[in-house]
Amino acid sequence: MKKNINLKVPPQADFIQTWRWTDEGLFLLDQRKLPQQEKYIICNTVDKVRKAIKDMVVRGAPAIGICSAIGFTIGIKNFLEKKKKISIQSINQEVKKISYLLETARPTAVNLKWAVNRMKNVCENFLKEIEKEQITLEILKRLYFFLEEEALKIWEEDIIGNLAMAKFGKDLIPEGGVLTHCNTGALATGGYGTALGVIRESYKHNKKIFVFVDETRPFLQGSRLTAWELSKLKIPYAIITDNTAGYLMKKGQVKAVIVGADRIASNGDTANKIGTYSLAVLAYHHQIPFFVAAPSSTFDLEILSGEEIPIEQRPSKEVLYCVKSKIAPLNAKAYNFAFDITPGELITAIITEKGVIYPPYKENILKTIKGNEN
């Protein structure tokens, strides 16, 4: 086994690494098994990476973006190793095939396509540079090196971005009860967290915080994953059923809500785990601040509103069964929307690695996300 990949991240990152990338492949902590088992599976082909993303072995918008970049690299590596004669045309065909496999694994999170596009750009730029050279395997090994470098860069940028996000967001979180939905920590990112990263940072700065963790039906990302991370971090929390949130807000026990995002439209409409919209409406009614924490890669500036975001529907079985036990009548059907859309007008602020964005979102998102790229 080659070195475990060493990331160039600040020492204060203190991140939980939920996967390892070696010469053997990508080792993923199987999130379906948590918290009962901490079991890793190996993905050494692009098909296995796709399946791991699709089956939610790994999940969370930033995490699947990073894993798709690694999967892209593995796919090209395997292609180069098994072919004796390679042309630029055959590489381009393989790039299209790999890109399609990864981009269609899960449709809602834009980070996946964003990461794959970065990897495709590396290939395109490299092939332009060598188009007049005689193609040899030695030359093509350089392509793998550049792809590996870019995938690592995406991973490192995510952790560094999470730290910046946490720094910007920590002062927004009040003391007292903070409610979060789904999982937005190390398991969902490069290793630190978006919304959970902000909570971590607030707690580090001695804020008296108690976290209410929505169980997040039906996949239970809250009760299985967020609770697992908070336990490791020794941050006080309690798991609540999803439909308890409104009652706690009415009692005055929730001082803020903070969630992550899978895609944010240019007007601030946000796709996140199903149930987020309900929380936003409840928070608005009870005059509780509702924050979204997400990296700039989660913004889709090409779409005008959340109406354009595709919403993934997952198998009915996830609703009709609890673990392996059926909990519904024999012929029951279920709607299993994985995400919903929270309108921008219900969001108090969006916390990014480039700063905190406040309404009006149509103007300020573009100014913050695009303005800092120039």
Question: pLDDT for 319-353, tens place per residue?
Answer: 999 878 999 999 999 999 999 999 999 999 999 99
CATH for 90: 1.20.120.420
Residues 203 and 339 in one domain: yes
Q: Is residue 18 part of a domain?
A: yes
pLDDT in the model for residue 140 = 80
pLDDT in the model for residue 10 = 53
Quick: pLDDT tens for 228-250.
Answer: 999 999 999 999 999 999 999 99
The values of phi and psi at residue 257, to 5°, are -120, 135
Contacts 24+ apart (CB under 8 A), 317-326: 318/218, 318/219, 319/217, 319/218
Quick: pLDDT tens for 197-224.
Answer: 999 999 999 999 999 999 999 999 999 9
Parts of the chain with a pLDDT under 50: 1-4, 12, 374
Residues 31 and 137 in one domain: yes
Q: Tokens in use for 24?
A: 């053997």
pLDDT in the model for residue 372 = 52
Residues 188 and 126 in one domain: no
Q: Is residue 348 part of a domain?
A: yes
DSSP helix/strand/coil, 305: coil
Residue type, 96: K
Q: Count structural domains, the chain.
A: 2
Confirm if 25 and 74 have CB atoms less than 8 A apart.
Answer: yes
Residues 126 and 208 in one domain: no
Q: Is residue 92 part of a domain?
A: yes
Residues 158 and 255 in one domain: no
pLDDT in the model for residue 215 = 97
pLDDT in the model for residue 2 = 46
pLDDT in the model for residue 3 = 43
Residues 138 and 98 in one domain: yes
Confirm if 10 and 160 have CB atoms less than 8 A apart.
Answer: yes
Q: Is residue 6 part of a domain?
A: no
pLDDT in the model for residue 15 = 61
Q: Is residue 121 part of a domain?
A: yes
Residues 314 and 210 in one domain: yes
CATH for 281: 3.40.50.10470
Those residues whose C-beta lies under 8 Å from the C-beta of residue 122, and which sit 6 or more positions away, are 143, 146, 147, 150
Residues 122 and 185 in one domain: no
Q: Of 163, 190, 214, which residue constitutes the final position of a domain?
A: 163
Note if 171 is an active site residue.
Answer: no
**Structural domain that includes position 49:** 11-163
Residues 249 and 145 in one domain: no
Q: Of 163, 192, 215, which residue constitutes the final position of a domain?
A: 163
214, 242, 262, 340: the catalytic one is 262
Confirm if 364 and 358 have CB atoms less than 8 A apart.
Answer: yes
Distances (CA, A) of 118 to 51, 72, 124, 131: 21, 10, 10, 20
Q: Is residue 138 part of a domain?
A: yes
